[in-house]
Structure 1
Amino acid sequence: MSTTQISHNTGSKSQADRAVTPGGRVAFGREMRRLFNFAPSYTPLNHGSFGTFPRSVLERRFKVLQDWEERECITYRFDYPERLRESRALVAPLLGAHVDELVLIPNATTGVNTILRNLVYEKGDVIVYPATIYSACLKVIQHLEETTPVRRHGISIKYPIEDDDLVELFKATAKRLTGEGHRVRAAVFDTIASRPGVRIPWERIVKACKELGILSVIDGAHAIGHLDMTHTGTLKPDFLVTNLHKWLFVPRGCAVLYVPFANQHLFKTALPTSHGFLNAELRPSKSTNSYFVELFKDLATVDTTPYLLIPEALRFRDEVCGGEGAIRAYCARIARQGGDIVARILGTEVLDNKSGSLRWGAAFANVRLPIPVVEDRDVEGTLSVADIEPALLWLFAVAAEEYDTYFQTFFFQGVIWTRLSAQVYLDIDDFSWAGATLKELSARLLSGEWKTGGAKVVPPRHRLAKL
């Protein structure tokens, strides 16, 4: 391959980490942060929403873009297909899957759309999902309800809930709907929900779906790079999507759509329908990997360079971070310890069940804010339900402008929570700072400051010192 084409050498170190890591692995926390792209004063506590990637991946991206532009047509025609398959092949072991059981797509929302819009629905069909489903996925189902015979059924879940109870609730709901004459066509469930950020017993739900004859659609937006997903190919959910740009250090947008060979015949088209589509008379009638893979190879003109950065992201995670197991263990540990610290500072609690399964292996901590919520607007020292939206908008703005951070804060089950993300570039001191900052913000909010818009100028404090 010409050196002017796409650069690809997963064994080489970038300028960004060569000087810092002459011996290989870098310590997690503030030393690791030096290898990322954050502004010096910024405290990143919300990795889960959009993810981020190290400087070495950014440098590689510049190189890939430069090489592509030097010979755009030749690169696209002759080099890109090979590199695309190489990236897919590197991801496949992380799912325990065959390379041709997965394709790369822009994001999990596109994947859920593609899955649900390829299914054929008849009168009486129902799609079930938990009430905590990601809002974009819910809107897909709502649109299908408008345009096809399928109907939707949300399962109300009261947290904290034990895994056994959640699985039994799902089974009971599916059996009840069947008893009422419906066919539960598909069930959409998360691996880790977004709000609140809790682990879902998705493996057990997949098994229950197989027992009940329901297609399992797993929204693993927060899965790969966050949880150990190497058993996916053995468990064989009917469909699974997972973002690589959230937790795997790949730039946005990049995700995987996993479909076992046995289900690939259900896909008639990709979204958007593009060059790989074949008319019904030409389309393979049986499950073949060739048609499924070709569908997603050329989906109109979009920036697919994130797909080609998977090798560098995985190299960084292996050589610099010490591998997937080390990353998962660290993030889960400081999420648990950090969440407990924040809860102690606030005098509240972390969302969890008695068995601890909601937080098991997760890099999220959902901490209740000390902001009592009531119906009456005139109760001093509280926040009314009607005022939650403008008050939280004030909190977001002040956190950004005065503290140079962002807190993923939301109203759930009558309580205001903040979802904190753990990552290799954070340490316990960051959570202690988060707790003190949230305590200040909560007090300012309850004082009514959000109503006047008046804000005291608060300096960045010790954030620069932490670096």
Structure 2
Amino acid sequence: MVVKETPMPLRPSKQVQDPLEDIRQLDNIECGVAARKAFAFPDGYRNLNHGSFGTYPAAIRSKFHRFADLSEERPDAFIRYDYPRLLDESREAIADFVHAPVDACVLISNATTGINIVLRNLVFKPGDVIIYFATIYGMLPRRRTHETLADSNKTTPAESRQVEYIYPISDNALCSAFEDVIEDIKAQGKNPRLAIYDTIASLPGVRMPFERITALCKQHGIFSLVDAAHSVGGIPIDLGKLDPDAYVTNLHKWLFVPRGCALFYVPVRNQHLMRSTLPTSHGFVPRPTGDGSAAQINPLPPGKNTAYIENYKFAGTLDNSPYLCVPAAIEWRKKLTWEGKQGEDAIYGYLENLAQKAGKIVSTKLGTEILNNDDGTLTKCFFNNVRLPLDYQQDAGGDFATAVTIAQWMSRVLVEEYDTFMAFLVHDDTWWVRLSAQIYLVEADFEWSADILEQLCARVKKGEWKKT
């Protein structure tokens, strides 16, 4: 008896319905109390530090999980064929959002990766100088990267120079300090090759005059690398108008995309400089040797994009489901409302307004002040910084390491005893707390945080931090 094999069913054809239809059908969501219900926070928890890691609403979480499920149902079919198509849709969505050519936009895991890609691809010559600003992200990962490069003759002959300043400082003074460093470098017969700077600095959380700095870089022939970890989704960004040489921004912080996802923008004029992803992967194109020895076989299906774009399509085996959530996040944001405004206008307006009110609430309670300049430009964003009523000499003995230890103790106590978190920093021998506004927070949240901060500072003055 011959047993006939049942033929395997053909793979179901691609769905043609609108993948964002469920989000389009949502009712409008007013920023504040109503918006909080869209997120996964448990009762009693106040997410007061959105700026560090971000989060996203339940409507986006369902999309995220669906993409992860699809990649497991048919791994090869999804990763090799469906994922590149969906990735292009995400690139198109974010390019439109930031007013940039789609061929200049790729997605990577985070801003730190983008900074590393630029610094490790650019070819530096003796006399080249990398300029960075004193409050660059925590003075940690980004600074360490280019200082490692600049200090190692094995990787690059470039040097590094810091623009020195202390907040609060005016935009005019900051730009003048930048130009002073440029002129000093030139006076030494050296070449200011690259400048790295923030849109919104992290600690302290202040807006920098990044538009003016970018223009100055162009004026002086300096490669502008914008560390925009805090930008897209939090403030309006027009990359076509800004026109930096390279720009990297996290999308998992302020755009409500799952972690980790970042936009890496490099205009076509500079893409030949960015030869490798980080890590180098299948899309890398070796320099021609003339004898064919550099030829290689890419195990992934050929794509329709430029070699630069294809290089970023697959940079090692990772779960890139967050990348595919960009269109859904942008669509969901259109549902948000505030004071008669809709979508992006409502979000930007609510964030800056709440940040301003939060700074006033907390500083009034603590009897201190916010960190701002006379022109009020530092606080034109979603952050505010309030001085804590602690004395650097009396409470830390005038020692920076001790001051940091106290800040770390306060952070831990907030998590363990108060079920929240706020970012602390020590700047100019002073403790500050960074207040992070978001659409799911209201003034009452910052009234509560002001009470907690008052209690915490009193405990520091009693020396409680020394007991742990």
TM over 0.5: yes
Query: CA distance change for structure 1 residues 271 and 417 in 2, over 3 Å: closer, same or farther?
Result: same
Within 2, Cα distance between the matches of 1:81 and 1:320?
30
Structure 2 gap ranges (5+)? 1-10, 295-303
Residue equivalent to 1:346:
366
Residue equivalent to 2:78:
75
**Aligned-pair CA distance for 1:357:** 0.5
Residue equivalent to 2:22:
12
Within 1, Cα distance between the matches of 2:42 and 2:61?
15
Residue equivalent to 1:440:
455
Conserved in 2, the CA contact under 8 Å of 1:123 and 1:150?
yes
Q: Aligned with 2:182: secondary structure?
A: helix
Query: CA distance change for structure 1 residues 273 and 325 in 2, over 3 Å: closer, same or farther?
Result: same
**Aligned-pair CA distance for 1:319:** 2.2
**Aligned-pair CA distance for 1:384:** 5.3
**Aligned-pair CA distance for 1:375:** 7.0
Residue equivalent to 1:25:
28
Q: How does 1:102-251 map onto structure 2 within 5 Å?
A: 102-134=105-137, 135-145=140-150, 146=152, 147-230=155-238, 232-251=239-258
Residue equivalent to 1:460:
none
Residue equivalent to 2:389:
370
Q: Aligned with 2:19: secondary structure?
A: coil
**Aligned-pair CA distance for 1:389:** 2.9
Within 2, Cα distance between the matches of 1:370 and 1:297?
50
Count of matched residue positions in the alignment of Structure 1 and Structure 2: 436
Within 2, Cα distance between the matches of 1:448 and 1:6?
64
TM-score (norm 2): 0.89
Equivalent residue for 2:288, pick from 281, 295, 300: 281
Within 2, Cα distance between the matches of 1:333 and 1:171?
33
Within 1, Cα distance between the matches of 2:194 and 2:15?
44
Of 331-340 and 385-394, the range deviating more from structure 2: 385-394
Equivalent residue for 2:274, pick from 249, 261, 267: 267
Within 2, Cα distance between the matches of 1:209 and 1:248?
28
| Cα offsets for 1:80-129 (capped at 9, x unmatched) | 11100000000012221011111000000000000111111111110001
Query: CA distance change for structure 1 residues 161 and 279 in 2, over 3 Å: closer, same or farther?
Result: same
Q: Aligned with 2:424: secondary structure?
A: strand
Alignment pair present for 1:84 and 2:87: yes
Conserved in 1, the CA contact under 8 Å of 2:395 and 2:460?
no
Residue equivalent to 1:100:
103
Query: CA distance change for structure 1 residues 377 and 279 in 2, over 3 Å: closer, same or farther?
Result: closer
Within 1, Cα distance between the matches of 2:188 and 2:422?
44
Within 2, Cα distance between the matches of 1:38 and 1:219?
29
Q: Aligned with 2:355: secondary structure?
A: helix
Q: Aligned with 1:409: secondary structure?
A: strand
Equivalent residue for 1:323, pick from 336, 340, 343: 343
Within 2, Cα distance between the matches of 1:8 and 1:175?
55
Within 1, Cα distance between the matches of 2:126 and 2:326?
42
Q: How does 1:382-393 map onto structure 2 within 5 Å?
A: 385-393=400-408
| Cα offsets for 1:378-401 (capped at 9, x unmatched) | 7xxxx8545223322221122111
Query: CA distance change for structure 1 residues 5 and 168 in 2, over 3 Å: closer, same or farther?
Result: same
Within 2, Cα distance between the matches of 1:52 and 1:4?
30
Within 2, Cα distance between the matches of 1:5 and 1:182?
58
Q: Aligned with 2:131: secondary structure?
A: strand
RMSD: 2.1
Alignment pair present for 1:34 and 2:42: no
**Aligned-pair CA distance for 1:280:** 1.0
**Aligned-pair CA distance for 1:191:** 0.3
Within 1, Cα distance between the matches of 2:412 and 2:446?
20
**Aligned-pair CA distance for 1:31:** 1.5
Query: CA distance change for structure 1 residues 384 and 77 in 2, over 3 Å: closer, same or farther?
Result: closer
Within 2, Cα distance between the matches of 1:376 and 1:204?
39
Give identity over the alignment, percent: 42
Query: CA distance change for structure 1 residues 2 and 353 in 2, over 3 Å: closer, same or farther?
Result: farther
Q: Aligned AA for 1:304?
A: N
Conserved in 2, the CA contact under 8 Å of 1:6 and 1:68?
no
Structure 1 gap ranges (5+)? 454-467
Of 397-406 and 245-254, the range deviating more from structure 2: 397-406
Q: Aligned AA for 2:233?
A: G
Conserved in 2, the CA contact under 8 Å of 1:5 and 1:71?
no
Within 1, Cα distance between the matches of 2:83 and 2:266?
23
Within 2, Cα distance between the matches of 1:375 and 1:439?
17
Equivalent residue for 1:309, pick from 319, 325, 341: 325
Conserved in 1, the CA contact under 8 Å of 2:31 and 2:440?
yes
